[in-house]
Structure 1
Amino acid sequence: MRGKTQEDIGLVELLDPVAESVGYEIVRLRLMGGAEQRRLQIMAERPDGDMNVEDCAKLSRAISEILDAADPISGEYTLEVSSPGVDRPLTRLKDFETYAGLEVRIELDRVAEGRKRFKGELAGVEDGQVGLNLEGEDDTTVYFPFEWIVDAKLVLTDQLMKRGAEQRAARVGAEGEDANEDLGDDAEDDIDLSESEED
């Protein structure tokens, strides 16, 4: 699901090692548009799920270098690197575990339970199958092989917004603590240096 076409999949295989080497994971890649002007859209994130403007710029530079060298895309194109966003697509099996308990829309490549499209609450993953508590159907949990899923996206709800805000607050708090620890270490180093000079 990270790539939709064979060309997308080939680009994912080319760029995955590049992204990982600079500390990021490609969530989704799409090469869109006609032959004259195409757009390479890449959604990515750090292993902790965060992705800010500086991260996007860093990954964009790394990807541009390999694209210039390998030249896998014919014609002109524009590279866009972004975060997956709050109502993000779910493209990897681990995504369905990470976001269990949240509302999602899923589309399959075949008919199951009489339809291809489903909406409900993610119920996690069991033996490579994605569980879904169907909307409006109490005590009804269905499981689909991950390979059947062609599209999945979180639904923007109050619960999702609250979770996103809590995660951002936690990251900001952690970064603040790290900064304070760094300042403390620097202060101790200064003291040690002063003592050495006095000796």
Structure 2
Amino acid sequence: MRIPERLRHMIEPVVDGLGYELVSIEFDSGQRILRVYIDKEEGILVDDCSRVSHQLSGVLDVEDPIPGNYHLEVSSPGMDRPLSKPEHFARFQGCLVRLQMLRAVDGRPRRLKARIVGVSGGAEVTLQDGEDLFSIPFDLIEKARLVPEFEKISKE
């Protein structure tokens, strides 16, 4: 589910003002959980999450953008971090990503896994699956997460 721009415009200035990057926002309507993923170059600690949560709670209580009760979770994006902006795809060029699109594109399934090749002007993400190179319009990407890759350690 795409987060309404009003919510993003409310949260992003608070997160930026505290010196963090807003990576992504998710709302789980079934469990009534608002998840805010933050990052910074040095990485995220529990104290960082607590600091952002405290500041966001005040703003969200006053603005009341989500009707009814919900829980706020602030966390680091983790190894399988969500990619929600064209800049994220550019930063993680060469990495494997799992995508869910709003609809099938060029006969491809809505859900797929491919390697990020690049981003064209923020409008399209170029991906590679095996030898197959293709582009997906950024606005058709519903969800995207990095796929952690671990080197195999052989026992010799």
Fold in common (TM above 0.5): yes
Write out the 4+ residue segments of structure 1 that deviate beyond 3 Å after TM superposition.
none
Q: 1:127 to 1:31 in 2, by over 3 A?
A: closer
Q: 2:118 aligned with 1:120, yes or no?
A: no
Which residue pairs with 2:148 in the alignment? Answer: 156
Tell me, in whole angstroms, the C-alpha distance in 1 between the residues paired with 2:61 and 2:105: 43
User: What amino acid is aligned across from residue 16 of structure 1 in structure 2?
Assistant: E
Give the aligned partner of residue 126 of structure 2.
131
State the shift of 1:5 in Å: 4.4
Structure with the higher helix share, 1 or 2: 1
Gaps of 5+ in 2: 152-156
Partner of 2:27: 31
What RMSD, in angstroms, separates the aligned Cα atoms of the two structures?
Answer: 1.9
Residue equivalent to 1:4: 2
- Does residue 39 of structure 2 align to residue 80 of structure 1? no
Q: SS in structure 2 opposite 1:85?
A: coil
After TM superposition, the structure 1 stretch with the greater mean CA deviation from structure 2, 59-68 or 105-114, is 105-114
Write the distance in 2 (CA, Å) between the matches of 1:113 and 1:73.
36
Amino acid across the alignment from 1:55: D
Shift of 1:102: 1.0
Higher relative contact order (CA 8 A, sep 6+): 2
1:156 is paired with a residue whose SS is coil
8 Å CA contact retained: 2:20, 2:39: yes
Q: Which of residues 18, 21, 24 is equivalent to 2:17?
A: 21
TM-score, normalization by structure 1: 0.68
Superposed displacement of residue 63, structure 1? 0.4
**Corresponding residue for 2:93?**
100
CA deviations over 1:7-29 (Å, ceiling 9, x no partner): xx322111111111111222221
Taking the aligned partners of 1:104 and 1:147, their CA distance within structure 2 comes to 16
Which residue identity is paired with 1:13?
Answer: H
Equivalent residue, structure 1, for 2:133 = 141
Instruction: Work out which of the two has the higher radius of gyration on C-alpha atoms and give 1 or 2.
Output: 1
* Mapped partners of 2:87, 2:52: distance in 1: 22
1:64 aligns with 2:62: no
Is the Cα–Cα contact under 8 Å of residues 3 and 25 in structure 2 kept in the other structure? no
Secondary structure at the aligned position of 1:31 is classed as: strand
Number of equivalenced pairs:
149
